[in-house]
Amino acid sequence: MTPEEFRQAGHELIDWIANYRSTLADGPVVHAVSPGDIRASMSATPPTETLSMTAMLAELDRVVVPTMMSVQHPNYLGFFPANASLASVLGDLASGGLGGLGISWQSCPPLTEVEEVTVDWMRQLVGLSDAWRGTIHDTASTATFIAMVCARERASGFSARAGGIAGGAALVAYASDQAHSSIPKAVLVAGYGSDNLRIIKTDGPDYALDPKALDAAMAADVAAGRTPAVVVAAVGATATTAMDPVRAIVEVANKYDAWVHVDAAMAGSAMLLPEMRHLWDGVEGADSVTWNPHKWMGTILDTSLFYVRDPNELVRVLATDPSYLQSPVDGLVTQFRDWGLPLGRRFRAMKLWFHLSLDGVEAIQTRLRRDLINAQWLAGLVEATPHWRVVAPVPLQTVCVRYEPPEFASDADALDRHTLTWATAVNASGSAFISPAKLDGRWMVRLSIGAEPTERHHLESVWSTVRHHAESVPSTA
Amino acid sequence: MTPEEFRQAGHELIDWIANYRSTLADGPVVHAVSPGDIRASMSATPPTETLSMTAMLAELDRVVVPTMMSVQHPNYLGFFPANASLASVLGDLASGGLGGLGISWQSCPPLTEVEEVTVDWMRQLVGLSDAWRGTIHDTASTATFIAMVCARERASGFSARAGGIAGGAALVAYASDQAHSSIPKAVLVAGYGSDNLRIIKTDGPDYALDPKALDAAMAADVAAGRTPAVVVAAVGATATTAMDPVRAIVEVANKYDAWVHVDAAMAGSAMLLPEMRHLWDGVEGADSVTWNPHKWMGTILDTSLFYVRDPNELVRVLATDPSYLQSPVDGLVTQFRDWGLPLGRRFRAMKLWFHLSLDGVEAIQTRLRRDLINAQWLAGLVEATPHWRVVAPVPLQTVCVRYEPPEFASDADALDRHTLTWATAVNASGSAFISPAKLDGRWMVRLSIGAEPTERHHLESVWSTVRHHAESVPSTA
């Protein structure tokens, strides 16, 4: 495709996207699609003829649009918000258009330095001190994995440069039972072994990690000859946005020289609001922090920030220096390849730069405050409705609810079935998307507010849909 | 930014990119920029006011354009080609515009199924049998790491779900001395320990791994109580595009039940040409293969294909199933989160789909053949020039050269200094970019043909620049 062909095709695509985004609220949040439907709608063999952009867009209209889940829809309250602000979409396009290659500082100097600058802007915007240095990973899963590996190396006397962890003492990782699935995955992939992950049970009403229980677990491991290596503190855990007490966790971890990784994937966006920063009080004592602008804040995926207090902890584990990547400026510059796994990196900072510059910080903050207020409002509405209960605190924008009519009072399994049945019915209706999750072993439904276009009246409509289905769907007990 | 604001700003950006791409050949390949220059040209504090798209583009013109290395420039012959075809840039934009969220099949059915289809198209296009199933990773570094982890788990009796690798037998990985830097990095991060990486020295003129030396190394490890876990075969190693003999490596590895991972990051693109597939003869016996359409083929980064013969080898290590991600179709669909590290995934298949559909396979193949012919032509020209030598075979599109005038015949260190001096001078001139690398402990210069716009006359111009600098730069001996 020549630049002139690109110009024409690009204009066509921009219009298509503008139309898609401006009309998606008129359609369902979720479409009915069965496994294999989409595969079957495409050719099983590679294309043998070229398409015009018009024909390509017709393919998208035929294959993709009718099968998407519209996470950009105002009635999307599933999982967590996954905003893809149009300003950041344009930043991503600029990155692609420039076609830079991030394998060293030399291979694309602005890719590295704009990342240094924008990531530092983000540090300031969430109120972290200048003791932190950061980079952009694809996801918090990856950032957490990198933290696990660095913790493993610190705890094992930097075994990786020698005999590896085979033959050494068992290293142990700690997290609460509310921690994200990426934690056990990272523990496993980093080679700790699942037996060496201590899941600390949260007993209190706030589903927060208990520092005393953590301390006891770490002491027991030391007594058994194992080495505590890393504690993950969740700031906004996935099911209910539960908040682990970071300061107390740091104090305990310090007794055992363990790495503290703060997983604020969801709640990091809230830290753009000074009044919310008490939620990660003590974060300055941690070793690493990750949070995702690609969730609530809305810089399009993949934009996961990862901050460490000492980049040398990354570099000594992850650095490579093959002859073909050496350049005269080595030693004077940051080589972000040494801060993560991939060698080749995209110009991801462009998304942040565009998002902050075109939308503006103030507009983002205003939207986040809107959602926090709406969450409290919705929680109040739920609590005021007979047989409905808000089942967990609402420190952020996610309201966890259950419909608990008297008929299920003595049959928790039947209640579980009913919860899943009405949640599925809501989603099948196309008028909203919500996601159930388990809490204390029982199903509840998460109403995770924060899609960019979601206003109060959308929530009124979703709440009405939810009530309708929960209160009228026949029990399957 | 509203859809209507996006429409206007998007048109402006599309025009800006079209102009940038159509004029970049008029500018230098590399700009003079010193460490910290770019950081210093930006505000140290976050933006407090919003910019119009016109102002944002002026920022790009001020900060980024004058500091880029133009890997899309016809005189870029550095590292490896890193084409960012404009068709794939539009595919990426479509992905952003749609704003889908890839955390499960349910969260965006087309994201998963279009990936299944396009990755299978790519399988067919490179002539792999239908025994393979694939996915898209960000880079081959990540794909190789995943292969290392799965090999570790297979060799250790799936230790990760139990006590981890601490306490077990040492696991050993094998690769040639030409293997990419991502191999030792993956070995280290996966916890094998650097002591357990056997770098097999390549002695022959083709810089290929010697299966006999591999066999001997594996036997010695077994005799010492260690467990051979994985062999990496490079198909197109980084310095010279050296080709390891995959069939013979598979035969040796099978004796020890070791995983074979084929790193065809660079050469995979060549397999789009049936006449080149002899270069990975035996690949069907491997356990995993990775190759990067984001190199020579030109689907914009990050598009790294990763194929395995048995996806269960991935899933049993990488699967997670938290309640908040469960859906009624689980078990009936592919969950790509269980094939890699990240939970959230972009709609990367869109880039491949657009690239194949808008540019067409035939046009891509024609370009690749052009480059192969040009590489042979250039190698002939170099060999026919007094005191110039092609220092390695040219199986693909990279020509490795050295200027060896008589004055340095007895002083290899002086020759090294001269090589680096003239290579640096060529790059500083702005008229070409080339990258030096070490071979047999001595510096040479790689001329890696394959940027999308590079025609014969560009190579003539680069060769003239190279000769000029090498033959006229004063010796620093």
Residue of A195 and B392 predicted with greater confidence: B392
For chain A, positions 304-333, list CB contacts with chain B under 8 A: 317-318, 320-325, 328-329, 332-333
Decide: A258 and A231 in contact? Cβ < 8 Å: yes
pLDDT less than 50: residues of chain B: 477
User: What average pLDDT does the segment A71-76 reach?
Assistant: 98
The CA angle B180-B346-B350, to the nearest 5 degrees, is 90
> pLDDT at position B125, please?
98
Residue A426, SS3 per DSSP: helix
- CA dist A300 and A84 (Å) reads 4
Test A332 with B46 for CB contact under 8 angstroms. Answer: no
| CA torsion angle A238 A240 A241 A246 (round to 10) | -90
Please give the residue of chain B at the shortest CA–CA distance from A428.
B328
Which of A71, A99, A120 is facing B99, going by the closest CB pair? A71
Would you tell me how many other CB atoms lie within 10 Å of the CB of residue B362? Answer: 11
pLDDT at A477 over 50: no
> pLDDT at position B163, please?
67
Test B191 with A152 for CB contact under 8 angstroms. Answer: yes
Nearest to B243 by CA among B173, B331, B287, B178: B178
- CA dist B316 and B307 (Å) reads 16
Which range (A247-256, A289-298, A381-390, B327-336) has the least confidence?
B327-336
- Chain A interface mutation, best of B59, B64, B72, B355, highest count of A Cβ atoms under 10 Å: B64
Q: What is the longest distance spanned by two Cα atoms in chain A?
A: 75
* Residues of chain B neighbouring A71 (CB-CB closer than 8 A): 99-101, 107-108
Please give the residue of chain B at the shortest CA–CA distance from A105.
B35
Residue B403, SS3 per DSSP: strand
> pLDDT at position A194, please?
87
Which of B56, B60, B324 is facing A79, going by the closest CB pair? B324
Taking CB atoms within 8 Å and a gap of at least 24, the contacts of A183-187 are A183/A144, A183/A232, A183/A263, A184/B320, A185/A141, A185/A145, A185/B318, A185/B320, A185/B341, A186/A141, A186/A144, A186/A145, A186/A147, A186/A148, A187/A148
Which residues contact residue A186 at a Cβ distance below 8 angstroms, ignoring those fewer than 6 apart? A141, A144, A145, A147, A148
For chain A, positions 271-310, list CB contacts with chain B under 8 A: 294, 300-302
Decide: A230 and A237 in contact? Cβ < 8 Å: no
Which range (A226-235, A295-304, A342-351, B191-200) has the least confidence?
B191-200
What ipTM score was computed for the predicted complex, to two decimals? 0.97
User: What average pLDDT does the segment A321-334 reach?
Assistant: 91
Amino acid at B352: L
Decide: A50 and B358 in contact? Cβ < 8 Å: yes
Does the pTM surpass 0.90? The reply is yes
